[in-house]
């Protein structure tokens, strides 16, 4: 039993990675599978075909991709900005009761179903902008809806790192004559950059993946809404293959950066010893 436990400790992370990447690998492979006669995705291998790739931008999917990118970028920027200001305010707040209230309120949307959030957004949008059938602000509704959806994740992901920020560093910068605004950028903002990047990626991916909120609150077509229209078609696997490619490239860049950083750390002590 101890050997099995030891095996799980050493290999469970690889099992999780395998469960994550195997479906994406199958998506990449079957994106080159010839669709059925009716154009639907076939679960068995027919023959090699690049039809799903060459027809990816047909049927209005080019406009849907542009809409998805626009909504994802604006959502990421808004989530990063609001989350950063919120966690900084919590870091500065000396009264911990306010912190507990904010954290409790922030946790509610995390466990709230998306369809409930979508219904609430429909009521709010109808009150301020009118009914969807006569509205022309579809992109705006999508950005606001996705910001509301992703904001709790942004605050939750930034909060732990923010709480570890040294207050003495912020005060020392002010003692050197920097203004509060410049001090914030040169100390706190620089310190939070890893969390900012991570939150931006999470918000963008949540935006790309959403269907319920966009379909309920807007009349804007995105890849998420196109994906669930009718039967599943081969172009959907192209999205999975693209995600796999971007993930592998991102991981490769990150690993190369970490390896180079570790090498520089090992070289630095040797140089100091020689001096």
pLDDT averaged per 10 residues, the chain (length 275): 72 82 82 75 77 81 88 94 92 77 78 81 79 65 90 91 87 81 88 91 88 83 80 77 82 85 73 54
How far, in Å, are 76, 113, 154 from residue 204 at the CA level? 6, 19, 11
pLDDT at 73: 94
How many CB atoms are closer than 10 A to CB 72?
25
pLDDT at 34: 80
Outline where the chain has alpha helix (H).
2-30, 51-54, 61-92, 96-111, 114-129, 138-163, 167-175, 180-183, 190-191, 193-209, 212-217, 223-227, 235-274
pLDDT at 45: 79
pLDDT at 135: 47
What's the angle, vertex CA 227, arms to CA 221 and CA 232, rounded to 5? 145
Question: What is the separation of C-alpha 128 from the centre of its chain, rounded to a whole number of angstroms?
Answer: 28
pLDDT at 15: 84
Burial 96-122, CB ≥16 within 10 A → b, else e: eeebeebeeebeebeeeeeeebbeebb
pLDDT at 226: 82
pLDDT at 83: 93
pLDDT at 35: 76
Helix (H, G, I), strand (E, B) or coil at 48: strand
pLDDT at 136: 58
Q: Which one-letter DSSP state was computed for residue 131?
A: -
Domains of the chain: 3-54 (no CATH), 61-220 (1.10.3720.10)
Helix (H, G, I), strand (E, B) or coil at 33: strand
pTM for the model = 0.80
Alpha-carbon distance of 181 to 160, in angstroms, equals 22
């Amino acid at each position: 039993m101890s050997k099995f436990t030891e095996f799980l400790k050493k290999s469970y992370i690889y099992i999780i990675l395998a469960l994550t990447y195997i479906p994406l690998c199958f998506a990449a492979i079957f994106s080159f599978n010839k669709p059925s006669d009716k154009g639907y995705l076939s679960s068995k291998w027919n023959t090699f075909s690049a039809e799903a790739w060459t027809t990816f931008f047909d049927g209005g999917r080019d406009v849907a991709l542009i809409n998805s990118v626009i909504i994802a970028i604006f959502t990421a920027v808004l989530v990063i900005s609001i989350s950063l200001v919120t966690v900084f305010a919590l870091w500065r707040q000396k009264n911990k009761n306010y912190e507990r209230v904010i954290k409790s309120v922030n946790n509610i949307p995390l466990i709230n179903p998306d369809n409930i959030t979508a219904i609430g957004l429909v009521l709010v949008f109808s009150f301020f902008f009118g009914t969807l059938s006569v509205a022309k602000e579809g992109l705006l509704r999508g950005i606001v809806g996705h910001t509301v959806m992703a904001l709790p994740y942004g605050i939750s992901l930034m909060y732990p790192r923010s709480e570890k920020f040294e207050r003495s560093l912020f005060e020392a910068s002010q003692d050197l004559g920097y203004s509060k605004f410049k001090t914030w950028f040169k100390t706190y903002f620089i310190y939070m950059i890893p969390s900012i990047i991570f939150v931006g990626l999470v918000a963008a991916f949540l935006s790309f993946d959403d269907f319920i909120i966009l379909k309920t609150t807007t009349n804007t077509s995105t890849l998420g809404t196109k994906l669930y229209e009718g039967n599943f078609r081969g172009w959907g696997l192209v999205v999975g293959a693209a995600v796999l490619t971007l993930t592998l490239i991102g991981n490769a860049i990150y690993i190369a950066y970490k390896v180079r950083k570790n090498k520089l750390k090992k070289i630095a002590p040797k140089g100091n010893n020689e001096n």
